[in-house]
Amino acid sequence: MAAKQTTLLQGTLDLLILKSLSLGRLHGLGVAQRIEQITRGTFVVKPGSLFPALHRLEESGSLRSVWGESASKRRAKYYELTKAGQARLAAEMGDWRRVSRAIQLVLQAT
């Protein structure tokens, strides 16, 4: 059974991008595919959201990019985490865990 697609909460796209790139270097379409795969189809990231976020993360120093060749022999920009990106991912994961625990407490309240 396919997962129901869900709108991303404000601020979670950067976290999903950083986490997907922590597993290895990817081009933009690969990042979107990995997010969709990892979330089992819950989040489908459109290019209009993905590429501005990739550029923003690159400008902030969290990502670096290199040009390479895709599997289809086309020129593609590949992204990878920097040391700053790894630190940001760790911080954002901690923040997300705190927020999700707090929301879980609210949902369990009687």
For the chain, what are the domain ranges? 12-108
Residue 1 confidence (pLDDT): 53
**pLDDT for 4:** 72
- According to the model, what pLDDT value does residue 72 have? 86
Ordered mean pLDDT values, 10 residues apiece, the chain (110 residues): 64 93 95 95 92 96 94 92 98 94 92
Q: For residue 90, how many other CB atoms are within 10 A of its CB?
A: 12
**What pLDDT was estimated at residue 10?**
62
Amino acid at 101: R
Beta bridge partners of 65: 79
CATH class assigned to 12-108 = mainly alpha
**pLDDT attached to residue 3:** 66
Tell me what pLDDT residue 110 has: 73
Q: Running DSSP on this structure, what letter comes out for residue 61?
A: T
The label of the residue with tokens 């991303």 reads: 8
